[in-house]
Amino acid sequence: MKWIIYLLLLANISFFAWHYQSMDRQERRVQAERQQGLNAAVRLVLLKEAKMEPGTASKPPLLQCRSLGPFEQRVKAEEIKKLLQNQGLLLELRVSKEARRKAYWVYLAPSASHAAARKAAQKLKKKHRINDIFIISAGEIKDGISLGVFSKFELAYRRQSEIRKLGFDAQLKDVTLPAKEYWLDWPQQSVAELSELQKEMIKEHGGSPRIIETDCRH
C-alpha cells in the first residue's frame, strides 16, 4: 500500500509543479501583451505630439495675387495685357467659367414618343428649312425639340413667333448658362496697385474692369 501512496504523492507534486510553471508562463505572456499595448500607445502619443509641434505640419501660405477684370472678350483682355506689359507689369491671362449669363431657350414640349418627335423634327427641317434644331434625349423635356438658345429676348421671341406661325406650339423659357470671363493676374508682391496713369490708359482703351485680391492658385 505504501508504494501506492508514494505514487499518488509523486503525482500530486508533479501536477503542482506543472500547474505552477503553466501559471508562470501565462502571467509572463499577459505581462508581455500589456507591455506591447503600452508601447504602442506611447508611440501613438509621441506621433500626435510630433504632428502638433509648431512648424512641423504647417503649410506654406498661399501667395496673394491681384486680378484685373472681368473682360467678356479675349481680344480686349489681350489688348490690355499687352498695354500693361509695356509698362513693365508681368501678367497672366486666366479664363474663368464661374460666371453665369442669362439666356432664352425656345423649344417644343415633349412628343408622345421618340418617333413622333423625330417626325416633327424632320418636318421642320425638310418642309420649313429650320435646321438648327435637335431632339432632346434626357431630362424633363425628353423627346421635346430644342429650337435654339438666344442671348437676347427679342431674338428668342422672334424664333418663337416664327415656329408658331408654322403650326407648332413653341415655348420660351429663361435659362442660366456658364459664361467665359477673362482676367489678368499678377503677384501682389510685384505691384500692389496700378498707377493712375495705367488706370487712365485702360479707360482710354474702352475698359472699365475692377481689381480684386485673390489667391495665386490659377
- Of 101, 58, 98, which is closest to residue 183 (Cα–Cα)? 98
Per-residue model confidence as pLDDT tens digits over 49-83: 445 555 545 555 667 788 888 888 899 999 999 98
Note the pLDDT of residue 113. 95
Same structural domain for residues 46 and 68?
A: no
Q: Which of 58, 88, 103 is the last residue of a domain?
A: 58
Name the range with the highest mean pLDDT among 2-11, 18-27, 109-118: 109-118
* Helices and strands of the chain, counted as H and E runs: 5, 6
Same domain, 29 and 91: no
6 & 89 share domain: no
Per the model's pLDDT, the better-predicted residue between 207 and 96 turns out to be 96
Task: Identify whether the C-beta of residue 145 lies closer than 8 Å to the C-beta of residue 136.
Answer: yes
Select the highest-mean-pLDDT range: 13-27, 168-182, 204-218: 168-182
Q: For residue 167, name the pLDDT band (cuts at 50, 70, 90).
A: very high
Residues 91 and 177 in one domain: yes
φ, ψ of residue 84 in degrees (nearest 5): -75, -30
Share of the chain above pLDDT 70, in %: 69
Cα 37 from chain centroid (whole Å): 43
Pair 72, 13 in one domain: no
Amino acid at 153: F
pLDDT tens per residue, range 115-125: 999 999 999 99
Question: 88 and 24: one domain?
Answer: no
**Rounded CA separation 211/218 (Å):** 16
The band of 98, judged by pLDDT with boundaries at 50, 70 and 90, is confident
* Cβ proximity of 194 and 88 under 8 Å: no
Regarding whether 135 and 91 lie in a shared domain, the answer is: yes
- Output the pLDDT for position 201: 80
104, 156 contact by CB (below 8 A)? yes
Same domain, 129 and 145: yes
pLDDT, mean of residues 21-47: 48
Contacts of 82 (CB under 8 A, 6+ apart): none
**Domain end call among 11, 35, 58:** 58
- Average pLDDT over the chain, rounded to an integer: 77
Q: Is the same domain home to 87 and 178?
A: yes
* Mean pLDDT across 74-103: 88
Task: Give the structural domain span for 118.
Answer: 63-218
Neighbours of 206 (CB within 10 A): 9
Confirm if 137 and 164 have CB atoms less than 8 A apart.
no
137 is written with which cell numbers? 434625349
- Same structural domain, 32 and 76: no
User: What pLDDT is recorded for position 8?
Assistant: 46
Q: Which pLDDT value is given to residue 24?
A: 52
In which band, very low, low, confident or very high, does the pLDDT at 96 lie, cut at 50, 70 and 90? confident
For residue 88, the model assigns a pLDDT of 83
What is the pTM for the complete model shown?
0.50
The lowest-confidence range among 13-27, 130-144, 170-184 is 13-27
Whether residue 109 is found in the same domain as residue 54: no
Same domain assignment for residues 47 and 80: no
Distance CA 129, CA 200 (A): 51
Last residue of a domain, one of 43, 58, 73: 58
Q: Which regions of the chain does DSSP assign to beta strands (E)?
A: 64-71, 92-108, 134-135, 145-150, 170-187, 210-215
Domain count, the chain: 2
Q: Once rounded to an integer, what is the mean pLDDT over residues 184-202?
A: 78
Nearest alpha carbon to residue 92 among 111, 78, 73, 106:
78
